[in-house]
């Protein structure tokens, strides 16, 4: 047997294709064609028989036609000259009496991705749009979008667009949805298909004819429609009520999103909607399809962000089943932790405890799983102190499963804070101290130091010796300076007396994750409604920001003055050279900010609240914000910092003020939601002067760009 795709094989196929006897016998010839297609499917290059295949396309046999058309779709771009020969056959087939053949030919014609094809496909597409068979119209409508894509940057054909808009009234439901899809692609530059009142109401009327794909997409298109009155809004909501109960999870999700977005000014309606999708969402969470179940769980978590405890009475639905994949178990655990309340805490903890020893198929997964559990325990302690007791009882069972630094840290932290109630705490910590030499993560050692010092304050007799050994190790043997410093610090702190040490160490606010937890509570629905039913909640907002961070950077950096990255340490802030750069910018911009315009915080707040936002922009950003650097940089261009969050706060915020010579105030808010995304800038102006505002923005951009440059 010849090797796939070698010249021999192609020559052999060519011979077979031009064999007159084979051509005469339909079945035999079809077999030859099948051989060609099979090789093509296997990735071999059989473009060498293109001419023969074009000839084979001139047939009445539909099966043969199909085979030939697939072949052409694959190789036309490689053989544009020969492909033009095929175009004729295809065009002729576009007026075949059978609608199946017409549709097939038109789809294949539009699928030939080769230069110069447009002039040949335009007429068949226009005919197709008016074809009496819906099958052909469906193909023709999407053909319009394909044609536009082939043409690239050329102007949009207004006549065609109008034709598509009128086809929204087509009888066939798939033609209707395809029209929306095609218009969306064709009009992308102008912001996509326009959904005005007649179109919106027409789509609402057709909703029940559509299949689940159509419904999901139409619901997404309707997001664009703004009802004129409250009455209309509620009419739409009641018309679409059935979609919330659809048997297709994707329709339920799309409908939920539409409801949340349309009712953005009616929090009560939003809450009501979320109550009503509870059932469908729970059903999706126990769906047979793991992937759908996963997507639903991610969305449940998003809802919980705004309505904590929303699913509390159904917490048992989120108990893990033994054979579920890790990604579902971990989502369920996150959900469980958020559903904990006074009544179910005991059951939830019992359940979580049983997961600690879960060793699923892979040991690695099991370990990570257990870590997540302990972290969840820690979060529980913060969220509801009354369950500490139960957590403490559960703790000793999971120390053996710890493998990874984060899990160890979480466990050590818990033992430190609540060790007085865990009888075995000093001995568990002792194990860690014994093995401290082989510990690779400084963070674990630091956590261990803090925990042991704390525990020592409550149970001195049991801990004194262990603590002594640990301190000795940290001060005398440890090579990591940060750990050593921490060791010395505690040593000196203890020298200052037990009471003093207690005062420093026993304030409960030492856990950094606390801030995060507090912030998460009660995010308004409108903050995430627009992201609902996209990939964002499936990834988690923070992960999504990281995934997409690089995309946003690339295209925008072009038009943005990025100061050359400075290698000087960020500590020394801005060098003289940079100051000049900034100075030049602010002056040449035609806007002079006066240096001594000081606003008090109260004045700022009052003015800020009385003004509307004049300009909102996003600046590219990555990493955390360094308040000192930013403040210094802003001072250089005479922008005063009124208030700023601490480094690492999430979201990070800053309020700025500046005044120009004419006395116009520029009040600015900077918001950095998560690291590695964009910085949101909102500017308010005391007098509306667009030109000055633009200059001000450009100054701000330059400053922030320079700061960004300094960091990297």
Shortest separation between residue 196's beta carbon and other proteins, angstroms: 23
Tokens at residue 21, please? 């006897």
Part in contact with other proteins (CB under 8 A); list of ranges 276-284, 574-582, 632-640, 684-692: 276-284
Shortest separation between residue 208's beta carbon and other proteins, angstroms: 7
Query: Nearer Cβ to other proteins, position 317 or 689?
Result: 317
Q: How far apart are CA 379 and CA 567, in angstroms?
A: 40
Query: Nearer Cβ to other proteins, position 48 or 325?
Result: 325
Of residues 243-262, those binding other proteins (CB under 8 A): 245-250, 253-254
Partners of 665 in beta bridges = 659
Of residues 340-359, those binding other proteins (CB under 8 A): 350-351, 354, 357-359
Question: Counting contacts by CB under 8 A, is residue 66 touching other proteins?
Answer: yes
Q: Spell out, one character per residue from 128 to 157, where the chain touches other proteins: x when CB under 8 A holds, - when not.
A: ----xxxx--xx--x--xx--x--------
Question: Counting contacts by CB under 8 A, is residue 289 touching other proteins?
Answer: yes
Partners of 373 in beta bridges = none
Shortest separation between residue 444's beta carbon and other proteins, angstroms: 19
Dihedral Cα 340, 346, 352, 358, nearest 10 deg: -160
Shortest separation between residue 103's beta carbon and other proteins, angstroms: 8
Query: Nearer Cβ to other proteins, position 329 or 486?
Result: 329
- For residue 227, report the phi and psi dihedrals to the nearest 5 degrees: -60, 145
Question: Counting contacts by CB under 8 A, is residue 291 touching other proteins?
Answer: yes
Nearest to 68 by CA among 99, 40, 28, 94: 40
Shortest separation between residue 142's beta carbon and other proteins, angstroms: 5
Query: What strands, in cross-sheet order, belong to the sheet with 613-620?
Result: 613-620, 678-685, 665-672, 652-659, 640-644
How many chain residues are in contact with other proteins, going by CB under 8 A?
97
Of residues 543-562, those binding other proteins (CB under 8 A): 547, 551
Contact 453, 510 (CB under 8 A): no
Give the distance from CA 397 to its chain's centroid: 36
Shortest separation between residue 641's beta carbon and other proteins, angstroms: 35
- For residue 683, report the phi and psi dihedrals to the nearest 5 degrees: -120, 135
Of residues 319-338, those binding other proteins (CB under 8 A): 319, 321-323, 325-327
CA-CA distances (angstroms) from residue 679 to 562, 619, 623, 691?
A: 15, 5, 11, 23
Nearest to 136 by CA among 162, 115, 110, 169: 110
Question: Counting contacts by CB under 8 A, is residue 373 touching other proteins?
Answer: no
- For residue 99, report the phi and psi dihedrals to the nearest 5 degrees: -60, -35
Query: Nearer Cβ to other proteins, position 113 or 561?
Result: 113
Cα of first residue to Cα of last residue in the chain, in angstroms, is: 59
Q: Spell out, one character per residue from 189 to 228, where the chain touches other proteins: x when CB under 8 A holds, - when not.
A: -------------------xxxxxxxxxx--x--------
Q: Spell out, one character per residue from 496 to 535, where the chain touches other proteins: x when CB under 8 A holds, - when not.
A: -------------------------------------xxx
Shortest separation between residue 338's beta carbon and other proteins, angstroms: 19
Q: How far apart are CA 526 and CA 530, in angstroms?
A: 7
Shortest separation between residue 161's beta carbon and other proteins, angstroms: 17
Q: Spell out, one character per residue from 292 to 311, where the chain touches other proteins: x when CB under 8 A holds, - when not.
A: x-xxx---------------
Q: Spell out, one character per residue from 10 to 29, where the chain touches other proteins: x when CB under 8 A holds, - when not.
A: --------------------
SS3 142: helix
Within a 10 A sphere around the Cβ of 159, how many other Cβ atoms?
Answer: 8
Shortest separation between residue 279's beta carbon and other proteins, angstroms: 4
C-alpha torsion sign, points 326, 328, 329, 333: positive
**Per-residue 3-state assignment (H helix, E strand, C coil) for 304-356:** HHHCCCCCHHHHHHHCCCCCCCHHHHHHHHHHHHHHCCCCCHHHHHHHHHHHH
Query: Nearer Cβ to other proteins, position 558 or 569?
Result: 558
Query: Nearer Cβ to other proteins, position 220 or 504?
Result: 220
Partners of 652 in beta bridges = 672
Q: What value, to the nearest 5°, has the Cα angle with vertex 315 and ends 312 and 319?
A: 160
Query: Nearer Cβ to other proteins, position 250 or 578?
Result: 250
Shortest separation between residue 504's beta carbon and other proteins, angstroms: 37
Those residues with Cβ within 8 angstroms of residue 33's Cβ, 6 or more apart along the chain or in another chain: 17, 53, 56, 64, 67, 68
Part in contact with other proteins (CB under 8 A); list of ranges 277-285, 596-604, 689-697, 698-706: 277-285
Query: Nearer Cβ to other proteins, position 38 or 226?
Result: 38
Shortest separation between residue 149's beta carbon and other proteins, angstroms: 8
Interface residue with other proteins, options 8, 241, 434, 522 (CB under 8 A): 241
Of residues 161-190, those binding other proteins (CB under 8 A): 171-174, 177-178, 181
Radius of gyration of the chain (CA): 33
Nearest to 617 by CA among 699, 687, 548: 699
Contact 54, 82 (CB under 8 A): yes
Shortest separation between residue 72's beta carbon and other proteins, angstroms: 13
Nearest to 390 by CA among 379, 381, 398: 381
Those residues with Cβ within 8 angstroms of residue 131's Cβ, 6 or more apart along the chain or in another chain: 99, 102, 137, 140
Question: Counting contacts by CB under 8 A, is residue 640 touching other proteins?
Answer: no
Shortest separation between residue 112's beta carbon and other proteins, angstroms: 11
Query: DSSP assignment, residue 355?
Result: H
Question: Counting contacts by CB under 8 A, is residue 99 touching other proteins?
Answer: yes
């Amino acid at each position: 047997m010849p090797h796939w795709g070698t010249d021999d094989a192609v020559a052999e196929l060519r011979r077979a294709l031009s064999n007159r006897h084979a051509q005469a016998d339909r079945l035999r010839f079809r077999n030859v064609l099948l051989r060609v297609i099979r090789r093509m499917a296997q990735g071999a290059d059989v473009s060498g028989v293109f001419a023969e295949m074009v000839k084979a396309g001139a047939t009445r046999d539909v099966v043969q036609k199909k085979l030939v058309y697939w072949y052409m779709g694959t190789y036309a771009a490689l053989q544009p000259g020969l492909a033009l020969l095929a175009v004729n056959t295809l065009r002729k087939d576009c007026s075949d009496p059978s609608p199946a053949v017409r549709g097939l030919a038109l789809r294949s014609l539009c699928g030939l991705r080769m230069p110069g094809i447009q002039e040949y496909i335009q007429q068949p597409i226009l005919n197709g749009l008016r074809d009496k068979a819906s099958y052909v119209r469906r193909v023709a409508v999407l053909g319009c979008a394909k044609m536009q894509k082939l043409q690239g940057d050329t102007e949009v054909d207004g006549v065609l667009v109008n034709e598509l808009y009128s086809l929204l009234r087509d009888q066939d439901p798939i033609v209707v949805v395809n029209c929306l899809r095609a218009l969306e692609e064709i009009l992308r530059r102008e912001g996509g298909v326009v959904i005005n009142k007649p179109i919106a109401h027409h789509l609402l009327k057709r909703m029940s004819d559509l299949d689940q794909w159509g419904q999901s997409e139409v619901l997404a298109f309707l997001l664009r429609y703004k009802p004129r009155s409250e009455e209309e809004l509620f009419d739409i909501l009641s018309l679409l009520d059935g979609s919330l109960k659809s048997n297709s999870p994707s329709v339920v999700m799309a409908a939920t999103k539409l409801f949340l977005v349309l009712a953005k000014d009616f929090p009560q309606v939003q809450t009501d909607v979320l109550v009503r999708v509870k059932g469908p969402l729970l059903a999706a969470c126990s769906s047979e399809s793991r992937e759908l179940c996963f997507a639903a769980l991610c969305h449940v978590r998003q809802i919980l962000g705004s309505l904590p405890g929303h699913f509390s009475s159904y917490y048992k639905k989120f108990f893990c089943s033994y054979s579920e994949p890790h990604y579902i178990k971990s989502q369920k655990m996150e959900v469980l932790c958020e559903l904990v309340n006074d009544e179910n805490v005991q059951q939830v903890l019992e359940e979580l405890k049983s997961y600690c020893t879960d060793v699923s198929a892979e040991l690695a997964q099991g370990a990570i799983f257990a870590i997540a559990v302990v972290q969840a325990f820690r979060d529980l302690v913060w969220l509801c102190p009354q369950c500490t007791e139960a957590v403490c009882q559960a703790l000793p069972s999971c120390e053996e499963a710890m493998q990874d630094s984060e899990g160890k840290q979480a466990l050590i932290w818990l033992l430190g804070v609540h060790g007085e109630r865990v009888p075995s705490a000093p001995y568990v910590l002792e194990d860690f101290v014994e093995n401290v030499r082989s510990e690779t993560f400084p963070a674990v050692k630091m956590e261990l130091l803090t925990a042991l010092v704390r525990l020592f304050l409550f149970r001195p007799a049991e801990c004194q010796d262990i603590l002594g050994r640990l301190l000795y190790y940290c001060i005398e043997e440890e090579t990591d300076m940060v750990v050593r410093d921490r060791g010395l610090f505690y040593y000196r702190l203890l020298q200052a007396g037990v009471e003093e040490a207690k005062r420093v160490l026993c304030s409960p606010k030492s856990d950094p994750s606390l801030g995060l937890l507090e912030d998460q509570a009660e995010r308004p629905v409108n903050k995430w409604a627009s992201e609902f039913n996209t990939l964002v909640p499936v990834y988690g907002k923070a992960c999504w920001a990281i995934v997409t961070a690089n995309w946003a950077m690339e295209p925008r950096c072009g038009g943005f003055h990025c100061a050359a990255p400075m290698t000087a340490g960020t500590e020394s802030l801005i060098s003289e050279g940079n100051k000049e750069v900034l100075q030049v910018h602010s002056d040449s911009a035609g806007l002079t900010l006066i240096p001594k315009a000081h606003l008090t915080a109260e004045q700022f707040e009052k003015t800020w609240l009385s003004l509307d936002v004049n300009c909102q922009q996003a600046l590219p950003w990555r990493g955390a914000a360094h308040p000192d650097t930013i403040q210094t940089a802003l001072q250089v261009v005479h922008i005063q910092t009124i208030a700023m969050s601490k480094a690492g706060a999430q979201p990070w915020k800053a309020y700025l003020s500046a005044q120009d010579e004419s006395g116009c105030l520029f009040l600015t808010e900077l918001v950095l939601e998560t690291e590695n995304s964009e910085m949101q800038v909102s500017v308010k102006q005391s007098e509306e002067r667009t030109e000055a505002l633009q200059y001000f923005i450009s100054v701000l951009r330059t400053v922030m760009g320079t700061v960004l440059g300094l960091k990297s």
